[in-house]
Amino acid sequence: MAQGADILDDLVAEYRRLDAVLATLTPEMWARPSAAAGWSVSDVVLHLAQTEELALASAVGDRDAFVRRGGDGSVDELADGWVAAERGAPPGQVLDRWRKATAATPAALAGCAPGARLPWVAVPLSPRTLATTRLAEHWAHALDIVGPLGVDYPDTARLRHIARLAHRTLPYAFAVAGEQGGPVRCELAGPDGDLWRFGDPDAPSVISGSASEFCRVGARRLAPEDTGLKAEGPHGAAALRVLRNYAA
């Protein structure tokens, strides 16, 4: 992926890669526990379908989609409730539902007016940022699926979008955690060995190391202390602790 690769093209590529895995799963595999606590593989794909339908609704201007979906509590509690309410459909039906939504979302996002702000979980997002959050969520939940199944799912240069999102949203992450933050730069090695830099090069705090580990920490799939990432400066360690690739 070139540095300027389009997020919508990469989102489609990530959909296709996950689809290639899901298409090979047996009914027994769909029923197995995923790495997402309390959810089966089928539950994870159902969650992706549900949230993709909300992303599509937002992109086409349906501002009441979240209200119709309903529910109370935190984002995690809402997601659990939505999955519980629709759990039990056959794997083929769940897969078809996810495929239908993912087939429509990129074109809908591409068709949004310049400067559009689309309703999302915490704050309205630009179409490109919403696309990035969808890539980040699909990548993270793909790990939840393939890990327990022992399926190979190597990292790609598409992680650059996710790493950049995590860096850009550090002020939000600090605010959610109730912590005082400050400028942080990142120097990360991509899966292909190239160096990715984000932030002010003169920032006094820096996080350096593997982009793959950085993105996993942001997805809460890996604890900072279990990585080789280095956090230096007055805010580096705190930034790594609050890092997130998502809004919740």
What would the pLDDT profile of 51-88 be if each residue is shown by its tens digit? 999 999 999 998 777 667 766 667 888 899 999 999 99
Q: Are residues 139 and 194 in the same domain?
A: no
The span from the CA of 241 to the CA of 248, in Å, is 15
Cα three-residue angle 58-106-125, rounded to 5 degrees:
40
Angle at CA of residue 85, ends 43 and 102, nearest 5°: 50
Looking at the DSSP bridge assignments, the partners of residue 172 are: none
User: Which residue range forms the structural domain that includes residue 223?
Assistant: 159-242
Q: Assess if residue 247 is contained within a domain.
A: no
Q: Judge contact between 7 and 128, C-beta under 8 A.
A: yes
Does 94 share its domain with 130? Answer: yes
182: in domain: yes
* Domain-ending residue, one of 149, 172, 195: 149
3-state class (DSSP) for residue 185: strand
Say if residue 134 is in the same domain as residue 172.
Answer: no
Helix (H) or strand (E) segment spanning residue 163: helix 159-168
Domain membership of residue 154 (yes or no) is no
- Of 121, 149, 177, which residue constitutes the final position of a domain? 149
For 181-201, the pLDDT digits (tens) are 999 999 999 999 999 999 999
Would you say residue 97 lies in a domain?
yes
| Number of structural domains the chain divides into | 2
| Closest C-alpha to 98, from 159, 141, 128 | 141
Out of 149, 178, 206, pick the residue that ends a domain. 149
C-alpha to C-alpha distance for 164 and 215, rounded to whole angstroms:
9
| Pair of tokens at residue 75 | 């984002």
Q: State the Cα–Cα distance between residues 69 and 75, nearest whole angstrom.
A: 13
**Residue 167 and residue 122 share a domain:** no
The mean pLDDT of 223-242, rounded to a whole number, is 97
Q: What are the φ and ψ backbone dihedral angles of 246, each rounded to 5 degrees? A: -150, 170
* Same domain flag for 114 and 190: no
28 located within any domain? yes
Asked if 24 and 133 sit in the same domain, the reply is: yes
Assign residue 142 the CATH number of its domain: 1.20.120.450
Clarify whether residues 83 and 184 are in a common domain: no
pLDDT, tens only, 76-131: 888 999 999 999 999 999 999 999 999 999 999 999 998 999 999 878 999 999 99
**In the structure, what pLDDT confidence band is assigned to residue 2 with cuts at 50, 70 and 90?**
very low
Do 125 and 47 share a structural domain?
Answer: yes
| 97 and 219 both lie in a single domain | no
Burial class (CB in 10 A: 0-12, 13-18, 19+), 40: buried
Query: Do residue 65 and residue 135 come from a single domain?
Result: yes
Question: Residues 112, 173: one domain?
Answer: no
CATH number at residue 234: 3.30.1050.10
**Are 203 and 103 contained in the same domain?**
no
Count of alpha carbons within 13 angstroms of residue 78, beta-carbon side: 16
